[in-house]
């Protein structure tokens, strides 16, 4: 924010009027301009075409007759229809096809994804979080390194000593204390692919498709190994409290069973590791943490004073503080705040300074931000926020 922005100023003297140009140069400019206009016209025409397209009907092929006729299923019933010439021989039973509205001719086929479209929803990424960006949690980092990092980087050691490394860990503890950060840091450190599934989303978004979805994720992860599957809010699919009353609940249960089956592995997981995370270990189904599953539990708790100081230092690295600001003192006063809240506090303090057009934070900014955050916390405890 404080760097000088460079501005380039043009004076009137630099501009050349069209009259002063040589005619050869003028022609060049006009030709270029013409090209641009033609391209714009082409794009506009294409856009108009899109609006004019008549939508096709989607249908399922029940049967193919004589290779150029098909029986298709629409919600109004079954129809015996033609298959357009270029698709003869290419349509099979159960294909999803596009149907022309008037004649009901099969004119296109929907491509089938090997992974039931999982690619459309799920991103495999290579996170950039490094261990040094995570304040405190020294023991927890060490545990994770032993359980996930070492087996991925040095599988030979485990073979030599004759032990099978764990398949995964469960990180548990209050929100905002670094569970996601840690999972990403392990992936970064091992150069593994990272994929995040959020339990509650699995329940809400993929109704009826949960088990297929889980299967696909594990299959893709095996293909992309080394890979870390991060299952956040794992309690949403693996809760003791689920009663199998409604079909939705049964669906969640089936998804959960599929997940366990994948972890137990029929097909070896190899360089695929699983990190589960939950804020609600109290309601988590014990099946998740049985031996051979996510049997290492690592608690990620609120940071203590020394850890808070570390987190404050990390998040103020790029900020400017007045000389008399003591992070030590702030660390003492931020008891019971999570890493995420500490970060929010600093951002809030930044806004207080910004409003007064200052770029250095002072004690007053930090104090005001702290009472704001603590106020929020109080209201939360009193049930003001869900
Ligand atoms: N130990 C920590 N060190 C540094 N930043 C932290 C720490 N814990 C939390 N944060 C900050 O809070 C944000 C949310 O943390 P996150 O890992 O998503 O928490 P959780 O997954 O436990 O709910 C992080 O992106 C980071 O900015
Ligand atoms: Mg998280």
Rounded Cα distance between 218 and 118, Å, is 11
pLDDT less than 70: residues of the chain: 1-21, 111-120, 206-208, 242, 244-245, 247, 266-268, 377-386
Beta bridge partners of 198: 232
The pLDDT value recorded for residue 18 is: 57
User: Strand 193-198 to strand 227-232: parallel, antiparallel, or no bridges (unpaired)?
Assistant: parallel
Indicate the DSSP class of residue 83: B
Tell me which of 171, 172, 181 to substitute to probe ligand 1's pocket, judged by most ligand atoms within 8 Å of the beta carbon. Answer: 181
Are 98 and 107 contacting, i.e. CB atoms less than 8 angstroms apart? Answer: yes
CA of 179 from ligand 1 middle (Å) equals: 7
The pLDDT value recorded for residue 12 is: 46
The pLDDT value recorded for residue 180 is: 96
**In ligand 1, which atom is closest to the CA atom of 175?**
23
Q: In Å, what is the CA distance from 93 to each residue of 25, 97, 148, 155, 291?
A: 64, 10, 45, 46, 44
pTM: 0.70
Are 301 and 179 contacting, i.e. CB atoms less than 8 angstroms apart? Answer: no
The pLDDT value recorded for residue 4 is: 43
Rounded Cα distance between 17 and 157, Å, is 75
The pLDDT value recorded for residue 32 is: 85
The pLDDT value recorded for residue 117 is: 62
């Amino acid at each position: 924010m404080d760097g000088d922005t460079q501005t380039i100023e043009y004076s009137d003297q630099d501009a050349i009027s069209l009259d002063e140009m040589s005619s050869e140069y003028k022609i060049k400019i006009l030709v270029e301009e013409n090209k641009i206009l033609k391209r714009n016209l082409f794009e506009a025409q294409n856009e108009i075409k899109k609006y004019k397209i008549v939508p096709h009907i989607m249908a399922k092929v029940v049967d193919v007759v004589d290779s150029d006729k098909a029986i298709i299923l629409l919600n109004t019933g079954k129809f015996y229809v033609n298959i357009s010439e270029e698709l003869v021989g290419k349509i099979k039973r159960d294909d999803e096809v596009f149907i022309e509205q008037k004649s009901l001719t099969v004119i296109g086929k929907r491509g089938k994804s090997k992974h039931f479209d999982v690619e459309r929803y799920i991103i495999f990424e290579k996170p950039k979080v490094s261990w040094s960006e995570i304040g405190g949690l020294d023991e927890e980092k060490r545990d994770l390194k032993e359980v996930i990092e070492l087996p991925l980087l040095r599988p030979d050691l485990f073979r030599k000593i004759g032990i099978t490394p764990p398949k995964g860990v469960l990180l548990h503890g209050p929100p905002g204390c670094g569970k996601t950060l840690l999972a990403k840091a392990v992936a970064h450190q091992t150069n593994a692919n990272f994929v995040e599934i959020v339990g509650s989303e699995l329940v809400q978004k993929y109704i009826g498709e949960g088990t297929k979805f889980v299967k696909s994720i594990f299959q893709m992860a095996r293909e992309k190994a080394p890979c870390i599957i991060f299952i956040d809010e794992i309690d949403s699919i693996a809760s003791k409290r689920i009663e199998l009353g409604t079909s939705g609940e049964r669906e969640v249960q089936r998804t959960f069973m599929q997940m366990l089956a994948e972890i137990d592995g029929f097909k070896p997981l190899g360089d695929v590791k699983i990190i589960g995370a939950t804020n609600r270990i109290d309601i988590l189904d014990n099946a998740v943490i049985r031996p051979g599953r996510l049997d290492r539990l690592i608690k990620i708790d609120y940071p203590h004073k020394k850890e808070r100081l570390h987190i404050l230092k990390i998040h103020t690295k790029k900020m400017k503080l007045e000389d008399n600001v003591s992070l030590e003192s702030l660390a003492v006063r931020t008891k019971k705040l999570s890493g995420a809240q500490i970060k929010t506090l600093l951002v809030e303090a930044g806004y207080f300074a910004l409003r007064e057009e200052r770029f250095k934070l002072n004690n007053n900014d930090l104090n005001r931000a702290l009472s704001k955050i603590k106020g929020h916390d109080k209201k939360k405890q009193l049930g003001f926020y869900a």
